[in-house]
Amino acid sequence: MKQKALLISVLLLVGNIARAQNAKVQTAWNYLKYEKLEKAAEAIDAATQHNQTSGKDKTWYYRGLIYHAMHGDSAMAVKYPDHLAIAYESFSKALEIDPESKFGKDIKTRMPVVLNQVFQKGVDHYNNKRFEDALVKFEKVLSFNALDTLAMVNAGYSADRGGNTEKAKTYFTKLTAMQYNDPKVPLFLSKIYKAEGDSAKGLNVVQEARKRFPNDENLVIEELNYFLASGRHTEALEPLNMAILNDSANHSLYFARGNVYDKIGDTDNAKVDYQKAIDLKPEYFDAYYNLGAMFFNQGADMANKANNIPASEQKRYDIAKKKADEKFREAMPYLEKALELQPDDRSTLLSLKQLYARIGETLKYEQIKARLEE
């Protein structure tokens, strides 16, 4: 008889414990109804830790509701900064316990809302320049949905702006491999490689991206910059032509192409493009200076060749010298205009000093010399 009494006592104790834990779930629900969220959280968290209630979908469903409700309470949201993540995890746990849960319809409606709110919090952090916090939120979204490309893009941007280059590179590399439909992604990845000193990889990323986005102006310009920086001027012409086709009113592009033509010795086309740049931007110092410098260099080359003519061929020398002087005079108005635009530019002053000396403009030479000495 004593043994039976003991058994009955144990069963009563177990029953009391189970009822107590179920009561905590109900208590949490009641606190939620009366918006006492902190007490609700304490009760439901206790229920999730006990084996009598931790295996029930209702427990986790209520927990999801309680923590999600904190999003509308600024004080609670601050006190429980991970409330949205906890809500999402709780809803997921409820479905994991019972995929056919009677709460399933509501849970499946709420989960994307919660996920979007986590994402939006990341956007808010990003806009407030809290890039590390933004990255945490976007990565939290990715922990729930690893294929969320929008979260991945924003994680990459946040990492980049926050100085976390490795993570930025990881996300942009994944997106590029996934052929994400945004040309800015490979552009950012290319810039990271360039900053790391790996221009070959950076250029490769840009050129692969241009196959998918052949008319994207930013990619065209980036490829152009790689070619110009490495002295591959002939290869720079194709992206330059494309860039000008896309933006025919951009004076900088004509200047850049004029510079390329100048470098490869096509002075006729260089002159046309430098002049076009000036037409589009009449006060364009660089275009005036380069145009003047190009004619000056041509004149200097012609003068050197004239000086190599034997003294016995005076007539031939006079003709060559005259043509060189004409080329110097062709440079003069452009260099003088450049000096007008930037009166203290030393390179322009030095060029004009040499120019005036070569063509015998003594008074102008002395004036420029005095300005240099000042």
114: tokens are 């919660």
Neighbours of 264 (CB within 10 A): 14
Give pLDDT, residue 218.
87
Nearest Cα to Cα of residue 337 among 283, 258, 374, 295: 283
Burial class for 265, CB neighbours closer than 10 Å (0-12, 13-18, 19+): exposed
Residue 15 has pLDDT above 50, yes or no: no
Residue 302 falls inside a structural domain: yes
Contact between 224 and 239 (Cβ < 8 Å):
yes
Residue 100 main-chain phi, psi, to 5 deg: -100, 25
Distance separating alpha carbons of residues 65 and 1, to the nearest angstrom: 48
Residue 51 falls inside a structural domain: yes
Tens digit of each residue's pLDDT (9 = 90 or more) over 64-86: 999 999 998 989 999 999 999 99
Residue 176 has pLDDT above 60, yes or no: yes
Residue 153 falls inside a structural domain: no
Neighbours of 163 (CB within 10 A): 10
Q: Lowest-pLDDT range, 19-23, 31-35, 54-58, 176-180?
A: 19-23
Give pLDDT, residue 13.
45
Residue 228 has pLDDT above 50, yes or no: yes
Which DSSP category does 226 fall into? H
Task: Give the residue-averaged pLDDT of 11-34.
Answer: 67
State the chain's mean pLDDT as an integer: 90
State which of 128, 157, 176 marks the end of a domain: 128
Residue 261 falls inside a structural domain: no
Tens digit of each residue's pLDDT (9 = 90 or more) over 110-148: 999 999 999 999 999 999 999 999 999 999 999 999 999
Residue 306 pLDDT grade (very low, low, confident, very high; cuts 50, 70, 90): confident
Instruction: Provide the domain limits for residue 52.
Output: 20-128
State which of 128, 150, 184 marks the end of a domain: 128
Residue 16 pLDDT grade (very low, low, confident, very high; cuts 50, 70, 90): very low
Residue 267 falls inside a structural domain: no
Q: 181 versus 50: which is more confidently predicted? A: 181
CATH number of the domain that 64 lies in? 1.25.40.10
Nearest Cα to Cα of residue 176 among 199, 200, 197, 207: 207
Q: How many domains does the chain have?
A: 2
Residue with tokens 């250029």: 203
The one-letter amino acid code at 116 reads N
Contact between 77 and 104 (Cβ < 8 Å):
no
Residue with tokens 């006492």: 36
Task: Give the residue-averaged pLDDT of 27-31.
Answer: 89
Residue 225 has pLDDT above 90, yes or no: no
State which of 128, 148, 168 marks the end of a domain: 128
**pTM, to two decimals:** 0.70
Residue 247 falls inside a structural domain: no
Residue 227 falls inside a structural domain: no
Residue with tokens 């590390």: 132
Give pLDDT, residue 14.
43
Residue 289 main-chain phi, psi, to 5 deg: -65, -45
Residue 1 pLDDT grade (very low, low, confident, very high; cuts 50, 70, 90): very low
Residue 237 falls inside a structural domain: no
Tens digit of each residue's pLDDT (9 = 90 or more) over 232-289: 989 989 888 988 988 899 998 999 999 999 999 999 999 999 999 999 999 999 999 9
Contact between 160 and 192 (Cβ < 8 Å):
yes
34: tokens are 């009366």
Nearest Cα to Cα of residue 335 among 352, 350, 347: 352
30: tokens are 């009641």
The one-letter amino acid code at 337 reads K
